[in-house]
Structure 1
Amino acid sequence: MDRRRFVSLTAAVGAAGVLPLNWTAARPVTTGQQEKRYQKKVSPWPICLDTATIRPASLKDKIKIAAKAGYDAIEPWDGELQKFEAGGGNLKDLGKEIKDLGLFVPSVIGLWNSIPPTKEQFDSSLKDTRNRMRMAAAIGAEHIQTIANNAGENYNQKWMAARYREILEIGISEYKIHPALVFVKYQPIKTMGQAMAIIMDANHPSAMMIPDTYHMHISEGGFESIKLLNGSAIAIFQFSDAPASPAIADLGDSHRVYPGDGILPLQQILRDLKATGFRKCISLELYNPEYWKQDLQKVAETGLAKTLEVIRKAGV
C-alpha cells in the first residue's frame, strides 16, 4: 500500500496509532505539468451537480438541466437509475446521452446497506450491491459511494475494512468501477477520521473516501484534517454550506444552503483541498426542500454560480 495516499491524523487516532516526532503531512509531488482548469479556467476542479439538488425533476430532465446550466458532470442516485431502467430505459444509452451533452459521471449514490455486521448479512447484500454497481457502470460512472448505513453503531473496524476491501475488489474486477467510502453524521461512520481509518485498514491501493463539507460540520469533525490528506485518497468532494441556525445538533440535510450563503469556511476549505493535490470533482449537494419548490433550472444555475464565486474568492 502506498502510505503517502492516506496520511491523516484522524485516521491514525481512529486506529490508535502513534505519530513519530518527525511526522509531517504528505504533499503532492510537483510534476511540472500545466494544471488543467475548468469553467472557463475559474476552477481547478470539474463542477458536478448531485441530482438531489433538483430532486423533483425526472432523471433525463436533470441531465438536461445540468448540461444547460454549464456543469461538467452529474452525480445521480441508484434509485433514479433503477426507476429509469424499470420504465424501459437503457442505461448504456443514457450514459451516451450524458456524454453527448458534454457531461460525465464521477460517482453514483450509492451502495446502501453494503457493510452489515455479520457474514450472513453481508453475503446476502452482495446481490443488491452488484446490481447497483452494474447500473452505475452502465452509465459510465467512475465511482460508486459505499454506504455502511446498516453497520451498527458499535461496528468492528477490522470487519468493516475487510468488507470494504472485498467490495472494492468486486467493483474493480467485475464492473470496472471504484467504490469509495462515505461518512454521514446520521450513520455509523460519522466523521472523516473514522472513514479514513477504515480505508487505511482496507490496505488496498484503490481505497478512497468521499468528504462532505456539511457532514464534516454537523458531525463536529471539523476541517483542519483536510490539511493532513493526500488528494488521491478522495474520490469526489461533496460541497454545500450550512446556516447559522438552528444549532448544529438540530441541523438536518434539509438545512443545506448554497455555497457562500452560510457560515462554513468554504474558501479556506478549498485552499486546503487544493494543497492536497485533489483534482477530481467538486459536487454541489443540496437537499433543501425550499429549493425544490423553485424553478429547477434557476436552482442549478444559481448553485453553479455561487460555487464558482466561492472558488474565485478562495484564489485557488
Structure 2
Amino acid sequence: MSFPFKTSLNMSTLFPFKLDVTRQIDVAAEAGYEGIELWVRDIDTYLAAGGSLNNLRQRIEQSGLTFANAIAFWKWVDSDASEREKGFEHAKRELELLAELGCVAAAAPPFGNVASMTLGGIAEQFGKLAAIARSIGVEPYLEFWGRAQKLSRLSEAVYVAMESGVQNAKILLDPFHMYTGGSATGWIGSLSGDSIGIVHVNDYPVEPSRDLIADSHRVFPGEGIAPSANLAKLLHAAGYSGFLSLELFIEDFGSLSALEVAKQGLAKVKSVYSL
C-alpha cells in the first residue's frame, strides 16, 4: 500500500474546540499533517486581539507546515454588480493579507446571490478574480458547492474554468459537494492533476438522504458511503499528488481532544486514500 498524496487539515474540523489560530497551527503540526487550511475569519480574530501578521507567518514557518489554502467568502460572482464590486475589493484586501502570510491559494466558491448568473458570466468574473489574485501571488481555487443555485456541479466548474480564459485554472474538489450536487465520481477521470488545486476529504452517511444531508453530517473518511477508494484511484491516475485536506463540520467530538481528533483524522485519511 502507498499513499501518493500530501495531508492537510482544514480548521473547520477543529471548530468545536474554539482554538485560536496559533493553537490550530500547533495541533496540525503535532498531529503530523504537512499542510493547513486556515479560515480568514480566524486570522482576523487573531489580529483584532493584537496579533501580528509577521508573528503568525513565523509561527507557520516554524511549524514546518505549508499554508496550502485559505477559506474565504467573497461575493465575486454575485448577480448584483455593486455587490460584485465590493466582493472584489474584499477579495483584494484578504488576498494581500494571505500573501503576507505565505499562503499558496484561496478558495473561490459561489458565495452570494448567484441564481441569475449564467455560467458564462461566472467564467468572466472568475477571470477577473484570477487576474487580481495572481498579481498578488495567491492562486484562486474555483470551488463548486453542491447546494449552490449555480456552480453546483463539477461539470459546471470545468466549463467555467475553460471559458474563463485563465491559463492552468485550478478546481477545488470535495466529495460531499459532489454528492449533494449530483456530480459522478467518475467525472474526475476527465481531469488532469494540474487542474486540481486541492481536495477536501470527508465522508457522508446513507442517512439523512441526499436532499436533507447537511455539512454537520459529514464523518471521517471510511465511516460513510463515499466512494473514497475509487476517488483515490482516480486522483492518482489523473496525476494528482497534492493535498488531501480533512474538512469536517462535526459539532461535538465527545471526550476527544483537538489533538486526538486531528490524529484520528490523519490516520483515517492515510488509510482510506492509500492505494
Please point out which of 168, 179, 195 is paired with 2:140: 179
Distance change (3 Å), C-alpha of 1:291 and 1:221: same
Runs (4+) of structure 1 moved beyond 3 Å?
none
Please point out which of 109, 118, 132 is paired with 1:147: 109
RMSD: 1.6
Distance 2:114 2:85 in 1: 17
Distance change (3 Å), C-alpha of 1:88 and 1:292: farther
Distance change (3 Å), C-alpha of 1:211 and 1:125: same
Give CA deviations for 1:114-160 in whole Å, capped at 9, x if unaligned: 21124333222222111111222122111101122214223122221
Q: Larger deviation: 152-161 or 210-219?
A: 152-161
Q: Does 1:209 find its partner at 2:171? A: yes
Q: Give the C-alpha shift of residue 96 in structure 1.
A: 2.0
Distance 1:71 1:171 in 2: 26
Please name the residue that 1:72 is paired with: 34
CA contact (8 A) 2:201 2:247 kept: yes
Please point out which of 1, 5, 9 is paired with 1:49: 9
Q: Does 1:198 find its partner at 2:160? A: yes
> What TM-score do you get using the length of structure 1 for normalisation?
0.82
Please name the residue that 2:210 is paired with: 248
Please point out which of 46, 51, 71 is paired with 1:109: 71
CA contact (8 A) 1:144 1:180 kept: yes
Distance 1:282 1:268 in 2: 14
Distance 1:263 1:218 in 2: 13
Q: Secondary structure at the match of 2:141?
A: strand
Q: Does 1:60 find its partner at 2:19? A: no
Distance 2:270 2:263 in 1: 11
CA contact (8 A) 1:236 1:280 kept: yes
**What code does the residue aligned with 2:50 have?**
G
Aligned sequence identity (%): 25
Please name the residue that 1:13 is paired with: none
Aligned pairs (5 A) from 1:218-257:
218-257=180-219
Distance 2:87 2:111 in 1: 12
Distance change (3 Å), C-alpha of 1:200 and 1:97: same
Q: Does 1:287 find its partner at 2:249? A: yes
Distance 1:182 1:198 in 2: 11
Could you tell me which runs of 5 or more consecutive residues in structure 1 were left unpaired when the two chains were aligned.
1-40
Q: Secondary structure at the match of 1:181?
A: strand
Q: Secondary structure at the match of 2:99?
A: helix
Distance change (3 Å), C-alpha of 1:248 and 1:293: farther
CA contact (8 A) 1:111 1:144 kept: no
Please name the residue that 1:166 is paired with: 128
Name whichever structure is richer in strand by fraction. 2
Please name the residue that 2:268 is paired with: 306
Please point out which of 243, 265, 272 is paired with 2:234: 272
CA contact (8 A) 2:79 2:115 kept: no
Distance change (3 Å), C-alpha of 1:68 and 1:96: same
Distance change (3 Å), C-alpha of 1:279 and 1:220: same
Q: Give the C-alpha shift of residue 291 in structure 1.
A: 2.7
Could you tell me which runs of 5 or more consecutive residues in structure 2 were left unpaired when the two chains were aligned.
none
CA contact (8 A) 1:67 1:102 kept: yes
Q: Secondary structure at the match of 2:4?
A: coil
Please name the residue that 1:120 is paired with: 82
Distance change (3 Å), C-alpha of 1:242 and 1:105: same
Distance 1:271 1:265 in 2: 10
Q: Give the C-alpha shift of residue 217 in structure 1.
A: 1.1
CA contact (8 A) 1:167 1:179 kept: yes
Please point out which of 71, 84, 94 is paired with 2:56: 94
Q: Give the C-alpha shift of residue 192 in structure 1.
A: 1.0
Distance 1:296 1:45 in 2: 23
